[in-house]
Every structure is written in C-alpha cells, then in structure tokens.
Amino acid sequence: MSTHSFASDNWAGIHPEVLTAIAEANVGHQPAYGGDEWTARFQGLAQQLFGADAVAFPVLNGTGANVLSLQAASPRWGAIICARTAHISTDETGAPEKTGGLKLLTVDTPDGKLTPELAAREAWGFGSPHRAEPSVISISQSTEFGTVYTAAEIRALADFAHKHNMLLHLDGSRLGNAAAFLGTSLAELTTDAGVDILSLGGTKNGLLGAEAVVVLRPGSAPGLPHLRKINLQLGSKMRFVSAQLLALYEGDLWRRSASHANAMAVRLADGLAAIPGARIAHAVESNTVFAHLPAEMAARGQQAFAFGGWPGGAPDLYRLMCAFDTTEADVDALLAAFVGQAS
C-alpha cells in the first residue's frame, strides 16, 4: 500500500516551510504562555487578516478550538444549533457536551450546510426554563461534505442569529480551502459576513498541532483567556504554535496549499466521473471528494491507498481527501487502482 493516504488531510506531514519556522523560533529563551514575540506578531497579523477588533488565542487542536469558542460564546444554560453532520456533533466524542457543558441542537441538511430556514427548526424556546436556550449557530467552512458557504449565505445566517440574540461561530478547520475555492479573503468569509467567533484551522493545512480561536466581535466571548486554561488549551511554549500560524497566514502559504489540495480533489473527481459505476455524491468545492463506488472498485482502491467509507452514509459512499502534499501522480495512481491498472 502507498505511504500516501486519501483518508484524511490530517494524515499529511508538516509543510517544509512550517518546519523551518519552528526551527527558527527555537532560539534562546522567550516568555511562556503567550508572552513571546511570535504570539505578539500573530495578534497583529490576526488584526490585519480579520479587522482591527480581532483578538487571537492560539490553541493546540481543532476540537479544543471549537469547544473553547462555543463555551466562551454561550451562557451555562446555552445550546448550539448545528448541522447533524457537523464535526462538533459527529467527530468530537461529545466534547461540546461533556467538556463544554453545552447541548447541541442538530438539524438535518442535504449538503452539510445550514440555512436560516433550517436553523429556525431549533431556534425556539428562548427564555423558557424548560429548554436549553439556543445561543450560538455553529457552521463548518468547508462543511464535512466538502461543500462551501458563500459570503452571502454566511451573512444570511449571521443576520438570522443576531435577530434572535444568538452568535454565529464558524468552525474554520478548512477555511483556507473555502476561501481558495471562492477566490476571497479570509475576512470576506468571516468578519465581513457577520461571524462573531472563529476557530481558525492550521493542522489540516500543514501545521503541527496549531490552531487559533479568533474573536471577531468585541464582547462576544467573555472569559476566554480563563477558559483556554481550564480547557487545557494554553500552551506554555506558545511561540512554537504562533510561529506555525505566522508561517501559514503571514504570506500566501495558506492559499497556495489550499488551492493545490482543491485542485487535486477536482482532478480526482473528474477522473472518477469517467469511470463506469462511480458517481460523485456532492459538489467538489474544497479538498474533499465524496463518491459512490461499487464494492469491487472500492476494494481495489483500498489495496493501494488508505481511505474509508462515511459513517452513517450509504454503504457505497466513500470520502477521499486531498492534502497540500497530494501530487497528480498520487491521484492518477489511485484512479488506476480503481480500474485495476498498474500505476
């Protein structure tokens, strides 16, 4: 089996430019817990990327970023409206409920994307002591199905949330892929569209355990500095987290890496579409391909490369992920494996 994987972009290594940044930060002594020069630079960069009001909190992983964001943005009695397929609902082992103490109000969606109409199904019971009060709408960008919210779609959800005195949280573990697909800045899909608090991704785009919570609207996440420590997300040697975030977002590395991964997903989807029996399940708008594959075709592919089915989906539904280091040769070898040809 190939050492390259299509199972998850988390399987990829560290981008060489990020490794260099870590090594360059490994000099001398620096104040711990965020008092270092790299974290100060990242705070300034966050304001450049997201606006003058942005406040950034580097953290250690995506689940931590999501739980911390939602806990800081919600009262103790609050609830979170999200898609049933959202990462916070399906892949975080109940962390928002168990660690954050928050109830998730999940909504079925056809493509992983919420709309105001869909969110309205759970946006009720405000002020009632008998129901966890909807406090935040959380969306994933891109979604777990690889689909992407436009800025207008996000703005509609933000307006709906704010009308009902809720906040809008964006799980941006693959925000760069969405912005690369749409050709926008990061701010256009977040601050400018009305997002209040953001989980900014890094690990899926070539970093080593480096993410951030970015508060976009002042006052929307009180207590976050304390909660970061309570939730085990305050790194003592934070300079090595911030150095990675700087390497990814200070220049165009995030866009270059995301655009490449997206392009490899399109190449893969186009190749699959030409194979009899294969069928693309969702629009390919990021680095994710969902495809219905005959059992024998899937088995041939899995003999050559790691990838898996989609839990809870149709038995023939498979997810194929491309990463910053996926090559055209990797994609072509997988396609050849699907049809039983030697690569």
Domain boundaries, the chain: 16-249, 253-338
DSSP states of 255-302: HHHHHHHHHHHHHHHHHHHTSTT-EE-S---SSEEEEE--HHHHHHHH
For residue 290, the cross-strand partners are 319
Give the model confidence (pLDDT) of 301-326 as tens digits: 999 999 999 888 889 999 999 999 99
Q: Are 187 and 53 in contact (CB under 8 A)?
A: no
Q: Does pLDDT of 25 surpass 60? A: yes
pLDDT averaged over every residue in the chain: 95
Report the CATH superfamily, name and number, of domain 253-338: Aspartate Aminotransferase, domain 1 (3.90.1150.10)
Q: Does pLDDT of 334 surpass 70? A: yes
Region for residue 293 given its phi and psi (left: phi exceeds 0; alpha: psi -120 to 50; beta: otherwise)? beta
Q: How far apart are alpha carbons 184 and 189 in whole angstroms?
A: 7
Q: Does pLDDT of 343 surpass 60? A: no
**Residue listed under structure tokens 């009180």:** 222
Which CATH architecture best describes the domain 16-249?
A: 3-Layer(aba) Sandwich (3.40)
pLDDT value at position 342? 60
pLDDT value at position 225? 94
Q: What is the mean pLDDT of residues 97-119?
A: 94
Q: How far apart are alpha carbons 148 and 286 in whole angstroms?
A: 7
pTM recorded for the entire structure: 0.96
Helices (DSSP H) in the chain: which residue ranges? 16-25, 37-50, 62-73, 87-90, 95-98, 116-119, 151-163, 175-182, 224-230, 239-249, 253-273, 295-304, 328-338
* Of 145, 174, 181, 177, residue with least CA distance to 290: 145
In angstroms, what CA-CA distances link 286 with 21, 258, 325? 26, 8, 15
pLDDT value at position 3? 82
Q: Does pLDDT of 195 surpass 70? A: yes
Give the model confidence (pLDDT) of 40-83 as tens digits: 999 999 999 999 999 999 999 999 999 999 999 999 999 999 99
For the chain, the C-alpha Rg in angstroms (whole number) is 20
Q: Does pLDDT of 1 surpass 80? A: no
Burial class (CB in 10 A: 0-12, 13-18, 19+), 131: middle
B/e letters for 327-336, b = 16+ CB within 10 Å, e = fewer, are eeebbebbbb
Q: Does pLDDT of 341 surpass 90? A: no
Give the model confidence (pLDDT) of 143-192 as tens digits: 999 999 999 999 999 999 999 999 999 999 999 999 999 999 999 999 99
Helices (DSSP H) in 76-198: which residue ranges? 87-90, 95-98, 116-119, 151-163, 175-182
Give percent of the chain above pLDDT 90.
92
Q: How confident is the model at residue 258 (pLDDT cuts 50, 70, 90)?
A: very high
Give CA 84 to chain center in angstroms: 16
In angstroms, what CA-CA distances link 272 with 206, 280, 335? 26, 8, 7
Give the model confidence (pLDDT) of 222-243 as tens digits: 999 999 999 999 999 999 999 9
